[in-house]
Amino acid sequence: MNKEIKEKYEYKLYMKQCILLRAFFINIAIICIAWLATLSNGLMAWTAFLTNISIEQVYSGMFLLLGVWDVAGVLLFLVPALAIYWERKSLKKFK
C-alpha cells in the first residue's frame, strides 16, 4: 500500500513538472515572438504615435517589459519545475 502511494505521488510530481516546463517553453516562444515584433519599424512608429512618446522611449520600454516578463517566466515556471525535479530525485533515492 505504501509503495502505491509513493508511486502516485511521484506520478503527480512528474505531471506537475511537465506542465511547468511546457508553460516555460511556451512563455519563451511568446517572448521571442514579441521580441520579433519590436523589430518592426511600423509597429514601433504606430505605438509611438498612439502614446505620443518618442520611438526610442517606446523601444527601450518594450525591451524593459520583455526583460521583466522573461525573469517572471523563469521565477514562475522554471524554478518550481526544478524544485519538483529535485523532490522526485530525492524520492527515488529513498526507495
How does pLDDT run across 44-83, given as a tens digit for each residue?
Answer: 888 888 889 888 888 888 889 999 999 999 999 999 999 9
Question: How far apart are alpha carbons 54 and 61 in whole angstroms?
Answer: 11
Q: Which residue has the higher pLDDT, 23 or 5?
A: 23
Domain boundaries, the chain: 30-95
Which three cell numbers, joined as nine digits, stand for 11?
506520478
3-state secondary structure at position 1: coil
Is residue 13 within 8 A of residue 87, CB to CB? The reply is: yes
Band the pLDDT of 5: cuts 50, 70, 90. Answer: confident
Residue 95 exposure: Cα atoms within 13 Å on the Cβ side: 13
Kindly list the distances between the CA atom of residue 74 and the CA atoms of 9, 67, 90, 92, in Å, as whole numbers in the listed order: 25, 11, 23, 26
